[in-house]
Structure formats: C-alpha cells, structure tokens
C-alpha cells in the first residue's frame, strides 16, 4: 500500500487524537494527517489538498458534529465531481441499521461503529482501498 494522506474529521480533539493513534497502531502507512472539526472545515481541506499533486487518499469522519455533520459532508463531497470518488470511512457511535443504510446511499464507502479496535480500522482501510 502506498503512503497515505488522510483527513480525520471529528469535533472532539480527543477523538481525533484517538483515531490518529489508532491508525498508527494499525500499522497503516500514513504519510500526512490532516484534521478538521466539522464537515465544513473538512470540505475546505479537501478542496485545498486536492489542488495539490498528491491528493488525499482517505477521510475518516464522525457523524455528529456542529456546523456541518457527517451526512451533509458526504453528500456535499459526492456532489462535487472532482471529489466524488474520495473514499470516506465513517466512524461513529450511531450503528443503527437505518443509519448505516442511509450513509451507504449517500456514498460513504465504509462504516465502523465505536467502540472500535485498530484491527477493524486496518481491515476496513485495506478493504476500501482495494488491497489486502
């Protein structure tokens, strides 16, 4: 797997730190980590970084956030032709079946319910990026 440029979107700095650490524990080859506190900030980072030669590879996003929540973020991302294929992995406490189906319809590539272990994140990332 190539070195990854990832974006972590969560309104909780503690949770962003946890995801960052968990990604490291999962032994994923991460090159750059960007962080955003809500969907709006995340769209700005996606817009900025996808202008660069090395685009983002994957977004980890929470659902329940102020300003712009995770569902709105995924919907807006999918509405932009240039960013429509950027993979989004949702990490959230809300694991009800209807929520997961709704996210799939919106275009999220994967879903992990909290609590989550590093191995689950590693498996999902490999699954989403198409490498085992």
Partner 1 sequence: MTEPMPTSDTAFSDAPADSNDLMLSDVVGAARDVLNVMFFSDVLEDADAPPAPRPETMQVYVKFEGDGVGEFRMEIDDPTAESLAGSFLGAEPGSAPSPDEVQQVMGELGNMVCGAFLSRYEKDGLFSLSSPTIERAGAAMPSGVARSLQLLDGTMDLRINWSVPVDRPGLPG
Residues making contact with partner 1 (CB under 8 A): 11-15, 17-18, 21, 64, 66, 92-99, 102, 113-117
As given in the structure block, the two tokens for residue 17 are 């730190």
Report the residue number, 37 or 129, with the smaller CB distance to partner 1.
Answer: 37
The nearest distance, CB 84 to partner 1, in angstroms, is 26
Q: Are 39 and 76 in contact (CB under 8 A)?
A: yes
Sheet holding 30-36, edge to edge: 30-36, 4-9, 58-61, 88-92, 110-113
Report the residue number, 58 or 111, with the smaller CB distance to partner 1.
Answer: 111
Report the residue number, 46 or 106, with the smaller CB distance to partner 1.
Answer: 106
Cα-based torsion angle of the residue sequence 54, 63, 102, 124 in order, rounded to the nearest 10 degrees: 50
The nearest distance, CB 82 to partner 1, in angstroms, is 30
Listed in sequence order, the residues at least 6 apart from 14 whose beta carbon sits closer than 8 Å to its beta carbon are none
The nearest distance, CB 26 to partner 1, in angstroms, is 14
Q: Alpha-carbon distance 105 to 115, whole Å?
A: 23
The nearest distance, CB 91 to partner 1, in angstroms, is 11
Report the residue number, 5 or 99, with the smaller CB distance to partner 1.
Answer: 99
């Amino acid at each position: 797997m190539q070195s990854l440029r990832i974006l972590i979107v969560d309104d909780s700095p503690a949770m962003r730190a946890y995801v960052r650490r968990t990604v490291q524990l999962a032994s994923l080859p991460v090159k750059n980590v960007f962080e955003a506190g809500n969907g709006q900030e995340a769209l700005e980072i996606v817009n900025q970084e996808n202008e660069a030669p090395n685009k983002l590879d994957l977004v980890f996003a929470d659902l329940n956030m102020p300003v712009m929540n995770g569902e709105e973020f995924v919907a807006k991302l999918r509405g932009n032709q240039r960013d429509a294929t950027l993979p989004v992995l949702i990490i959230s406490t809300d694991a009800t079946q209807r929520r997961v189906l709704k996210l799939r319809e919106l275009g999220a590539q994967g879903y992990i319910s909290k609590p989550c272990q590093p191995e689950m994140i590693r498996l999902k990332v490999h699954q989403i990026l198409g490498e085992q």
